[in-house]
């Protein structure tokens, strides 16, 4: 027969064993379950619950139960909240017992006694363990001692599991961040083996993460052309430097160039490599952040083209103005009136061209900054604007104009100055990009909802692949014709922005070899 003394020893051994098992467990819910089972068993109770402090609101919530039904948990949480706030206000034991009694009744009327144990770690209350039983029995000081040491052990286990849970959350959050980042991210071992490879990088490189992981960095990152930075050379030269202190800046390395993708295509990318050291200053990982810099490159290229076209475009009229002005100024020649007038006309025209160019540039940069065109609306007849434009151009070119206008035409509300700018550009382009002497057809039409204008030439036309790009800012088709003609590539860009500000559309139809036809459509 077991003596009471032996029973206590047995109970203590059992407790120790359970405590050890609990501390080895990192899954919070599992730890709570084990603590509950052990404590309910130890006190021969019927029902047990564990509440844990929530970090965000500081309140206690039931996180595990044994023997209580789930539906009453919200109500129990309320009682628990009253109980815990009275504890922090230092209320007497009677009130605590009353609250515990109320909880017991909520669970089961038959429950008679409750034993509550705080779970305390590093002087901080982590939670509360309560065991209810259906009979009243004395709890000896020995019992309390054993129970308390068990609760202390349990608190350590709960604390560890909570830490683990937090780390696990953090890990999952980081993994999601890494996976869904718009930038390519890979994690490398110190010997440059790929350990992680996110989906953005799959898209950029054409490698699946499955194939890339385990490969050496250089197998996946193959440079067709490297502009600056060199990972291998930097490693050989002692990169990365260990940080002197926690705060000292990270020794990152940037490499930029054209990547040869797995499918043979190329992509302009920039990679920033950042080293990760452990507490002893040993290199743990290299984290590579990869950005697609195609757009940046394109913008840079466009800017270069722009600077060279604009300076060219500015230089020509300036040279003409300067040339004619200094000719007129020569003291040794007596110019007759007709020559003077001719030269002054040229100077004036060239000055106008300069003004126009500067105006276009200003409008383009204004649109860029404000994202829209501001319109000055008035009553406008599109057919009259077109006719006037043709009359103006007729003087300056030997193209044949054919007009196609209905007898009557509706008035619309539009910005006359801007529309004139668009029509001038379309007719001007038709002249510039079609042979001398060929025919240009300009016509208008309307229906109940729309008015339309088209300009059709007999030039070489525009290849399908270029038909959307010609409306881009500074875009000029790279062919013989464009090289021989002057232009900034702003005209159609501005035309499109202006027509769209009127809620209209501009389009081009062209069969290469048989001319181009530009059409604008505006709402009535």
Tell me which residues touch ligand ADP (CB under 6 A): 425, 429-430, 433, 457, 459, 462, 470, 475-477, 482, 487-493, 516
- Cα separation, 356 vs 351, whole angstroms: 9
- Kind of pairing, strands 400-404 and 439-446? parallel
**Omega cis (within 30) before 97:** no
CB 193 within 8 A of CB 160: no
* Residues 341, 463: Cα–Cα separation, whole Å: 44
Cβ closest to ligand ADP, residue 256 vs residue 457: 457
DSSP-H helix ranges across 371-473:
382-394, 416-432
Compute the chain's Rg from CA coordinates: 41
Shortest CB 497 distance to ligand ADP, Å: 11
473 vs 502, which CB is nearer to ligand ADP?
Answer: 473
The least CB distance from residue 481 to ligand ADP, in Å, is 7
Tell me the closest approach of the beta carbon of residue 417 to ligand ADP, in angstroms.
18
Which is closer to ligand ADP, CB of 182 or CB of 463? 463
CB of 377 to ligand ADP, least distance (A): 25
CB of 517 to ligand ADP, least distance (A): 9
Distance CA 375, CA 450 (A): 19
The C-alpha atoms of residue 341 and residue 460 are separated, in whole angstroms, by: 38
Instruction: List phi, psi (to 5°) of 184.
Output: -75, 135
Rounded to whole angstroms, the Cα distance separating 105 from 187 reads: 56
Neighbours of 101 (CB within 10 A): 16
DSSP class of 470: G
User: Minimal distance in Å, beta carbon 487 to ligand ADP?
Assistant: 2
Q: Is the CB of 217 or the CB of 476 nearer to ligand ADP? A: 476
The alpha carbon torsion through 13, 17, 20, 25 (nearest 10 deg) reads: -150
Name which of 364 and 444 has its Cβ closer to ligand ADP: 364
177 versus 481: smaller Cβ distance to ligand ADP: 481
Task: Give me the least distance between CB of 360 and ligand ADP, in Å please.
Answer: 9
SS3 breakdown of the chain: % helix, strand, coil, rounded to 5? 50, 25, 30
Who's near 357: CB < 8 A, 6+ residues apart? 310, 313, 314, 317, 488
Show Cβ contacts of residue 105 under 8 Å, excluding neighbours closer than 6 positions. 111
Q: Nearest to ligand ADP by Cβ — which residue?
A: 487
- Report the residue number, 25 or 429, with the smaller CB distance to ligand ADP: 429
Q: Which is nearer to ligand ADP, 360 or 383 (CB)?
A: 360
- Closest distance to ligand ADP from the beta carbon of 474 (Å): 8
């Amino acid at each position: 027969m077991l003596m009471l003394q032996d029973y206590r020893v047995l109970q203590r051994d059992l407790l120790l064993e359970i405590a050890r098992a609990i501390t080895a467990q990192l899954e919070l819910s599992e730890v709570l379950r084990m603590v509950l089972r052990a404590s309910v068993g130890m006190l021969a109770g019927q029902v047990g619950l564990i509440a844990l402090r929530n970090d965000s609101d500081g309140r206690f919530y039931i996180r595990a139960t044994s023997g209580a039904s789930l539906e009453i948990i919200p109500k129990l949480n309320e009682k628990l909240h009253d109980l815990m706030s009275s504890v922090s206000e230092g209320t007497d034991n009677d009130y605590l017992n009353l609250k515990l009694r109320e909880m017991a009744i909520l669970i089961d009327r038959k429950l008679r006694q409750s034993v509550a144990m705080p779970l305390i770690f590093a002087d901080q209350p982590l939670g509360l363990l309560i065991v209810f039983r259906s009979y009243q029995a004395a709890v000896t000081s020995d019992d309390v001692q054993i129970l308390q040491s068990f609760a202390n052990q349990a608190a350590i286990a709960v604390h560890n599991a909570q830490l683990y849970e937090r780390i696990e959350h953090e890990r999952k959050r980081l993994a999601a961040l890494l996976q869904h980042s718009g930038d390519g991210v890979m994690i490398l071992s110190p010997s440059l083996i790929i350990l992680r490879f996110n989906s953005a990088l799959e898209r950029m490189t054409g490698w699946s993460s499955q194939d890339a992981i385990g490969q050496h960095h250089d197998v996946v990152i193959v440079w067709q052309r490297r502009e600056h930075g060199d990972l291998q050379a930097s490693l050989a030269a002692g990169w990365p430097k260990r940080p002197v202190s926690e705060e000292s800046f990270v020794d990152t390395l940037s490499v930029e160039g054209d990547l040869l993708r797995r499918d043979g295509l190329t992509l302009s990318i920039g990679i920033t490599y950042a080293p990760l050291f452990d507490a002893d200053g040993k290199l743990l990982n290299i984290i590579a952040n990869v950005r697609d810099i195609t757009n940046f490159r394109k913008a840079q290229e466009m800017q270069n083209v722009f600077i060279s076209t604009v300076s060219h475009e500015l230089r020509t009229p300036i040279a003409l103005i300067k040339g004619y002005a200094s000719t007129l100024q020569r003291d040794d020649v007596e110019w007759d009136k007709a020559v003077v007038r001719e030269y002054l006309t040229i100077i004036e025209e060239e000055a106008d061209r300069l003004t126009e160019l500067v105006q276009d540039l200003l409008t383009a940069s204004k649109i860029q900054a404000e994202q829209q065109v501001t319109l000055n609306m008035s009553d406008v007849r599109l057919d009259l604007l077109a006719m006037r434009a043709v009359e103006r151009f007729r003087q300056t070119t030997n193209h044949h104009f054919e007009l196609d206008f209905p007898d009557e035409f509706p008035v619309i509300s539009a910005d006359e100055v801007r529309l004139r700018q668009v029509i001038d550009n379309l007719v001007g382009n038709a002249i510039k990009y079609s042979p001398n002497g060929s025919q240009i057809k300009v016509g208008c039409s309307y229906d109940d909802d729309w008015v339309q204008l088209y300009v059709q030439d007999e030039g070489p036309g525009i290849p399908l692949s270029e038909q959307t790009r010609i409306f881009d800012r500074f875009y000029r088709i790279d062919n013989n014709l464009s090289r021989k003609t002057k232009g900034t590539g702003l005209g159609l860009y501005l035309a499109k922005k202006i027509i769209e500000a009127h809620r209209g559309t501009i389009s081009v139809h062209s069969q290469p070899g048989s001319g181009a036809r530009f059409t604008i459509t505006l709402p009535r």
